[in-house]
Structure 1
Amino acid sequence: MNGKILVITGASGALGKVVAEAARARGAKVAEIDHAASVTPPTPDRIVIGGVDLSDTAQAVKVIEAAAAHFGRLDALVNIAGAFSFETITDGDPKTWQRLYTINVMTAFNASRAAIPHLVTSGAGRIINIGAMGALQAGAGMGPYAASKSGVHRLTEALAAELKGKVTVNAVLPSTIDTPANRRDMPQADFSKWVTGSELAEVILFLAGDAASAVTGALIPVSGRV
């Protein structure tokens, strides 16, 4: 990753922080984008841009252009921004479906669309999306989340076909990620079986690097030990 320039969305979240730190530790320069506000000053290898609504096309374009201007180019986009909700169809709110589609699909769509010209120019452009194992077969209460993450899977495949030979586009499909929030929500679970943020970061950074130049259109399960 030495010298690579990455944009990471959802960078202040549990997974985003791990991926950003791992990328910088390997010599990458990182633009960290998030909906949460931030006052972190920029450095030569890091820019943090908070208060961004990536579901808004204009904001997505603005922030991607700012990242490219800061570093001079972009090599990879890691779309981590997303949300989860456990809600049955019978008792749930239709607004949940729209909210998860907006946060999980449209943020990735807008960020990718804005970054594509820069990634093509890179000559080694990469887009890595975050799908979900739970979107392969939805269980009770998983309808809105699984539907939105299935949309991420289809976005990944369509973009990979459109950009073949120019930019690789792949998605990682984690099972339950070992985060403080998930431990609080599922205190009786066996945490040792969950995939860790570090394990997921390893796969993401592989896909962002030169060694993955022949991998595109892949939906890669990262299921821990379940």
Structure 2
Amino acid sequence: MRLLGTAAVITGAGRGQGAATAALFAAEGASVVVGDIDLDAATRTAKTVADAGGTAIAVHADVSTANGAEALIEAASENFGRLDALVNNAGVALFKQIEDITEEEWDRVVDIDLKSVFLTCRAAIPLMRATGGGSVVNVASAAAMKPIRLQTAYAAAKAGVVQFTRALSLDVGGYGIRANCVCPGPIDTEMLHASLSELASPYDASRLPLGRIGKPAEVGAVSLFLCSPEASYMTGAVLTVDGGTSVGTR
């Protein structure tokens, strides 16, 4: 087991990529704090982990607020006595013409997709330092590098996540803490399908280099790798998990 004896916090873990990531981490021996703004969803994920023989607790948290971010880190400290891995997976999408985006909508996307990453990292770093180091994985998006139409708010926030991660790696490396970024492309999640519904247009996955939409566990597996001993000399890296979307279409 690659994460035996460790503790992890995963945000947005009530469904989709977050839930898959929580299951993978627990299967590799980590005790997991399942954070989500939807407590029922977080509880379902924690139960799935427990039913499979793993250890997980569900915590209600709005990570776009300092109180919510701090609650997740406190849960790791109080229940597991340490924090070795933080996966910032929580996020929302928005597809709108720039002139139609309200200030409230812009703030919501930036708060959940970018500000939350700052808040959780700010809360987590002291505990990681106290327990000898750790690994931060921030989930951005392929849209950070190659956006599609109507993604101004989402693409800007996710691009911020990429550069935040790179800057963070410089600040915390001396504490034995690594910070890396994962940029998923189209993944089979509720958020993707809701976004496609907003766009009211079909998505032709056959045009992607790999010819299909990705699976949540395929993103989770990369986060797992980055938090494992195999990635011990990786920090400040940005890994694209998008079936080749950022390269082009065929």
TM-score normalized with structure 2 length: 0.83
1:22 corresponds in structure 2 to 24
The match for 1:136 among 145, 148, 152 is 145
Aligned: 1:61 with 2:81? no
2:205 matched residue in structure 1: 190
Equivalent in the alignment of 1:224:
243
- Aligned partner of 1:177 in structure 2 is 187
Contact 2:10/2:33, CA 8 A, preserved across alignment: yes
Please give the alpha-carbon distance, in whole angstroms, between the structure 1 residues aligned to 2:234 and 2:173.
10
Indicate if the aligned counterparts of 2:9 and 2:72 stay in contact, CA closer than 8 A. no
| Residues 33 and 72, structure 2, Cα contact 8 Å, conserved in 1 | no
- Aligned pair partner of 1:122 in 131, 134, 149: 131
1:1-226 map, 5 Å: 1-38=3-40, 40=43, 45-50=55-60, 52-166=61-175, 167-183=177-193, 185=196, 187-190=202-205, 192-226=211-245
Deviation per residue, 1:3-49 (Å, 9 max, x gap): 22110011102111100111111221101111112484897821111
Higher helix share: 2
Query: In structure 1, how many angstroms separate the alpha carbons of the residues matched to 2:237 and 2:224?
Result: 15
Aligned counterparts of 1:195 and 1:201: Cα–Cα separation in 2: 11
Structure 2 letter corresponding to 1:194: I
Deviation of residue 180 (structure 1)?
Answer: 4.4
Going from structure 1 to structure 2, the CA distance change for 1:131 and 1:61 (only over 3 Å counts) comes to same
Query: Equivalents in 2 of 1:33, 1:180: separation in Å?
Result: 17
SS in structure 1 at match of 2:87: strand
How far did residue 174 of structure 1 move?
0.8
Identical columns (%): 35
1:98: Cα distance to partner? 1.2
Segment of structure 1 superposing worse, 96-105 or 36-45 = 36-45
Q: One-letter code of the match for 1:96?
A: E
Letter of the structure 2 residue corresponding to residue 84 of structure 1: A
Maintained 8 Å contact 1:132/1:172: yes
For residues 10 and 75 of structure 1, what CA distance do their matches in structure 2 show? Answer: 18
Root-mean-square deviation (CA), in Å? 2.1
Kindly provide the amino acid, as one letter, of the partner of residue 230 in structure 2. Answer: A
Alignment gaps of 5+ in structure 2: 246-250
Q: For this pair of structures, how many residues does the alignment match?
A: 225
Residue 181 of structure 1 deviates from its aligned partner by 4.6
Query: AA paired with 2:172?
Result: L
How far off is 1:225 after superposition? 4.5
Q: Any idea what the Cα deviations from partners look like across 1:203-225, whole Å, max 9, x if unmatched?
A: 10000111111111111111125
Moved more, 92-101 or 21-30: 92-101
The alignment partner of 1:169 has SS state of strand
Gaps of 5+ in 1: none
- The change in CA–CA distance for 1:183 and 1:98 in structure 2 (over 3 A counts) is closer
Letter in 2 for 1:211: E
Secondary structure at 1:12's aligned position in 2? Answer: coil
Letter paired with 1:158 = A
Letter in 1 for 2:215: T
Deviation at 1:63, TM superposition (A): 2.9
